[in-house]
Amino acid sequence: MYVCNCNGIREKAVHDAIESGAERPCDIFLRNKCRAQCGRCVPDMQELIERRSQQFKVAAE
C-alpha cells in the first residue's frame, strides 16, 4: 500500500525508515531521498511513528 502517492513511498519503506530511527515525517522523506509534495501523507506517517513509539513504551513496561 502506498502511504505517499506523490513520491511513491510504500508502507514498508515507511516502516523501514522508522526502524532506522526516523522520528518525524521529514526523516522518512529524507531517507527516501524526496520531499513532501501535497502533504496528505504526513498525518499517516505521523500515526505510524506514534504507533511504533507506543509499542516501545509497552515493551519497556
Measure CA 36 to chain center.
12
pLDDT tens track for 15-43 = 999 999 999 999 999 999 999 999 999 99
Q: Has residue 59 got a pLDDT over 90? A: no
For the chain, what are the domain ranges?
2-60
Query: Which pTM value belongs to this model?
Result: 0.89
Q: Has residue 6 got a pLDDT over 90? A: yes
2-60 in CATH: which number? 1.10.10
Where does the chain have alpha helices with state H?
11-19, 25-31, 42-60
